[in-house]
Amino acid sequence: MLIDLQKVLAALGLVSSIIKPVPVVGGVVGGVVDTVGGVLNSTVGSSTGAVGGLLGGAGGLIAAVGVGSNSTDTDADNSTTTYSAASDDACAFQPYTPDTPVQLESFAPYDASRALIYRYRQQQSVNLGSWFVQEQWMNPSLFTCANGNKQAELDVAQGWGGVDSARQVLERHWDEWIGESDFAYLASIGINTVRLPIGYWSLGPVYCQGTPFESVSSVYVNAWARVVRAINWAEKYGLGILVDLHGNQNGQAHSGVSDGQQNLFDNPANVQLTMNALTYLTQQLVKVNNVVGIEILNEPSNVDGLPAFSLTTLRQVSPEAAAFPFYIHDGFDMSRFADYVSTRSDFVVLDHHSYFVFGDHDSQEIPAKQLTSSLQPGQGSLSQQMISAATEERRNIVIDEFSCALSGNALVNSSDAVTDRRRFCTGQMESYTNATAGWSFWSQ
């Protein structure tokens, strides 16, 4: 009998959130996990960019960037770029041309045996958030001259005084937010996989046609080359990569637009556009050694027909696609989707996102130690239920977004908040490692 995780969470007074947590406090313990079971050191050494402050800042898991009338970024060469707040007339920015043009690279020759190792090994992963899919809370500097609601990718592409300026701003961001040294660093601390959120717009101007991004499609003329570069960087350092597609799948900002509307599943034209993008991704990535899979849609609205969305078509793309791993998010309805995955004989993996920071007043009061106790591998109540669910699915489940964030009330009576938060963080990873095919921290 399949366990309903939502009922388990309710019994524990917990909540599995339907949104990513936006940090409102200055940080927690200073990292994720090192290879000996501790927490990643937030001092990254030579690593730069987003991972250079990996979950860090001044001792915090998530280093939130302050928002003001202006925002200043420090570049790898210690120069600074100031992005001025938008005015009625213009947006000030520093023109950008990369020293070496980013050309579309080839992938390494396909090695089926090597690919199997990447795809079947248990994943210890981090998300590379706000690199190719922008969210204002993660990188406010990109939004100082954004358009509209100033929350989502499209707002950036429509801002900055014009499409050419927006292209330069985003290309600079793609080149500097995360770099090759960050992949080397992640590999050095025991991370073996990264999850890469991209939008359909990241595939280039052709895939922007007929979408809200059509008028700004030229912003993305060089985007796909940078996605390919990221995949090759990961391969160079032995990292698998899960490519996670975003676009109109829900009403949240990480769907690319900030109008609060979901315009995919009830629109046949948009369904076809999504299928076109997924087909292209499958054609391009099915024979790439270190691509562990494609996540069909990130956190889609839970609609009828969602479990089987696009799978039949994608399996027919090529002979290799018949055995390629496709990941499906559970739409925050684990029971429904776990039951579906348990009936599949092909390579389908269920993705569940687990956040404990949100909920009603009572759940916010649960002490961190109690939460950690419920996660004890094979002993805690939540861990045992997760094991039962994973067994039903033949372990074809990953927790590909989780956070170490806790409400302030969870630590109010703690005598050692840093230790309690660390134990809560590592407790999640131990529990997910024990029960599932892997986990991925949100976010770098």
Domains of the chain: 5-66+98-441 (3.20.20.80)
Tokens, residue 166: 């927006």
The predicted pLDDT at position 62 comes to 27
**pLDDT value, residue 301:** 58
Confidence band of 287 (pLDDT split at 50, 70, 90): very high
**pTM for the whole thing?**
0.80
Instruction: Report angle CA 399, 294, 2 to the nearest 5 degrees.
Output: 40
Element (H, E) at 117: helix 112-120
Half-sphere exposure for 433 (CA within 13 Å, toward CB) = 13
C-alpha pair distances (Å), 1 with each of 215, 389, 390 = 50, 9, 12
Q: Two tokens at 234?
A: 């990961």
For the chain, helix (H) and strand (E) counts, in that order, are 14, 10
Distance of alpha carbon 267 from alpha carbon 217, whole angstroms: 21
The confidence score (pLDDT) of residue 44 equals 32
The least confident of 182-186, 310-314, 440-444 is 310-314
Phi/psi for 278 (5° steps) reads -65, -35
How many other CB atoms are found less than 10 A from the CB of residue 79?
9
Where does the pLDDT of residue 37 fall: very low under 50, low under 70, confident under 90, or very high at 90 and above?
Answer: very low
The predicted pLDDT at position 370 comes to 82
Spatial distance between the Cα atoms of 13 and 409, rounded to a whole number of angstroms: 14
Distance CA 193, CA 342 (A): 24
More confident residue, 143 or 89: 143
Pull the structure tokens for residue 152.
């989502």
Over residues 58-78, the pLDDT tens digits come to 222 322 222 233 334 433 334
Kindly report, residue by residue over 370-415, the tens digit of the pLDDT: 888 777 777 777 777 777 767 767 788 999 989 898 878 888 888 8
Length of the chain: 444
142 phi, psi to nearest 5 deg:
-70, -15
Which secondary structure element, helix H or strand E, spans residue 92, and what is its range? none
The first and second tokens of residue 133, run together, are 């899919």
What distance in Å separates the CA atoms of residue 232 and residue 240, rounded to the nearest whole number?
A: 10
**Among 255, 249, 318, which residue's Cα sits nearest to residue 281?**
318
DSSP state, residue 80: E
Q: Would you state the pLDDT for residue 145?
A: 96
Compute CA distances 83 → 59, 64, 141, 146, whole Å.
26, 17, 7, 11
Instruction: Kindly provide the residue ranges of all beta strands, DSSP E only, lying in 54-116, ordered along the sequence.
Output: 70-74, 80-84
| Whole-number Å distance between alpha carbons of 390 and 2 | 9
Instruction: Tell me whether strands 438-441 and 123-127 are parallel, antiparallel or unpaired.
Output: parallel
Distance in angstroms between the alpha carbons of the first and the last residue of the chain: 36
- The label of the residue with tokens 């958030």 reads 129
**Rounded Cα distance, 305 and 442, in Å:** 28
Residue range 196-241, pLDDT digits in tens: 999 999 999 999 999 999 999 999 999 999 999 999 999 999 999 9
The residues near 182 (Cβ < 8 Å, ≥ 6 apart) are 47, 48, 49, 50, 51, 52, 444
Q: Scanning the structure block, which residue is given the tokens 């937030």? A: 42
**Bigger pLDDT: 146 vs 369:** 146
Average pLDDT, rounded, for the chain: 78
